[in-house]
Amino acid sequence: MGIPLQIVILGASGDLTARKLVPALLSLAGRCTEPFRLVGVARRPLSHEAFRAQLRAELPEEDRQAFDGFAERVHYLQGDAGEDLTPLGHQLEALPGGAGAGRLFYLALKPGLFLPAMENLARGGLLAQENGAPWRRVVIEKPFGHDLASARALNRTLQSLLREDQIFRIDHYLGKETVQNLFAFRFNNTIFEPLWNRQHIELVQITVAEELGVERGRAGYYDAVGAMRDMVQNHMLQLLALIAMEPPSSLRPETIRDQKVAVLKSLRIPSGDACVRGRYTAGNVGGQAVQGYLEEEGVPAGSTTETFVALRAELENWRWAGVPFLLRHGKRLPKRFTEVKVQFRVPPIQLSDAPGTEVLADGLACALRPNQLTLSLQPRETVSLGFGVKAPGPGMTMVPAQLAFDYKDRFGGQTAPAYERLLLDAMNGDPTLFLRNDEVEAAWAAVDAIPGQPVRDYAAGTWGPPEADRLFHGCEGGWSHG
């Protein structure tokens, strides 16, 4: 970074600041060559000392001693991001580095405040980089718009205030070590890259399953967006883009992001019955009785918001034509896991005995699919490859086996939190793991094109509406259960 750094969090009294941003910044504080200052801005009337005490109380016990050494660099300003932010400029001028410091503004705000906050920052001269001023960057949380039209309008306004290279649209999934490994795994292992196409891959599944409902007061936010906008449009389409992108010619940020955009622009949902939406009703999750979505506190009566989405999508490009990408996300499912499963085709002739096939309910005899590559993102970060081996004894009877890799077993401990990696990249001006304007718009265009479907009930603790199982055709198999 090379110059003093000031980090400003607008909306600093929220849950995101205490749970994610401050722990990440605390970890980074000992690694940055230049000490940075943190300024929290929120409407609550707090002193610097009260704000520090509030943040400290939210930290795990093992981090509090480290925070005590960092606390003197933490400051607070009572203010409304939707109103005049001139006092913020005065406070930043008084901190070490003053106007000569690099400034990172993090919008930990409700989406409706993004534009007012940006306009007030610009009006106060806090975003200007002219006349030799050091860098100014803004990190914007999701959701970035609620459809294609609103995302375009937001992009236009932002680009009237900032250059594109100053805007860092964050998707914390891209900071996860295993998500980054999707890229490294594909392009650094020649045993897989030649097989990564329609000739060898039958289908790809992407699942984000959650046991939780809409606890902790999230119902108001969630009911306005639903499963499609909360998870599919951003996190899951980012995973799809990394799985399906063409090899970039270099590791330059724009080269990588160009390839991701090309995938999203080729995404198609073939017809109305290729999308299933659902909503959980009362049931049992992990041995605990839970209420239905419509009974959750804060959910309006008569809500039609979905808590489950399953899609059968296709990519209209040379590499993937005809290969289905099956995406599934739901709340109140039997277990929590996130994974990508790549299912390879079977040999043209089966030379094994009968156990190499299974008979489906409709009488269709199908060859087993022993070759599946599974990349698990949570709760454990693992990579496993399934294959068939001959069982001892006479005959050619095949049984499944696996090769497996576990991040924790190999590297020990926990991988760095996603926000830590992404905040460091934003400080350094590296946009590789952030979303470009056309990338956001391409994802919204794909989601907006999905036809509306009725919201079907499913009991909490089950795997969603049974209609989702019908997205698999013929002998393709079924959804992973983690």
Sign of dihedral through CA atoms 169, 170, 171, 175? Answer: positive
Element of type H or E holding 179: helix 177-187
For 265, other C-beta atoms within 10 Å of its C-beta total 17
Q: Which of 474, 451, 454, 426 is nearest to 24 (CA)?
A: 426
DSSP assignment letter at 191: T
Strands 288-290 and 267-268: unpaired
The answer to whether residues 211 and 335 touch, using CB atoms and an 8 Å cutoff, is: yes
Handedness of CA 238, 243, 248, 251 (dihedral sign): positive
Provide the terminal-to-terminal Cα distance of the chain, rounded to the nearest Å.
42
Q: Which residues have CB under 8 Å from 17's CB, separation 6+?
A: 9, 11, 40, 55, 108
Handedness of CA 85, 90, 93, 94 (dihedral sign): negative
For residue 439, what are its two tokens? 């990338």
Catalytic residue IDs: 235
Closest CA to 213 of 224, 203, 222: 222
For residues 99 and 128, what is the distance between their CA atoms, to the nearest angstrom? Answer: 11
Phi and psi angles of residue 401, each rounded to the nearest 5 degrees, phi first: -140, 170
Cα gap 189→202, rounded to integer Å: 20
Q: Is 358 exposed, middle or buried (0-12, 13-18, 19+ CB in 10 A)?
A: middle
Distance CA 189, CA 167 (A): 33
Smallest Cα–Cα separation from 315: which of 273, 269, 272? 269
Strands of 379-434 (E only): list them: 382-390, 398-406
Q: What CA–CA distance (Å, rounded) separates 378 from 361?
A: 32
User: Long-range CB contacts (< 8 A, 24+ apart) of 188-192?
Assistant: 192/373
Q: Which residues pair with 74 in a beta bridge?
A: 38
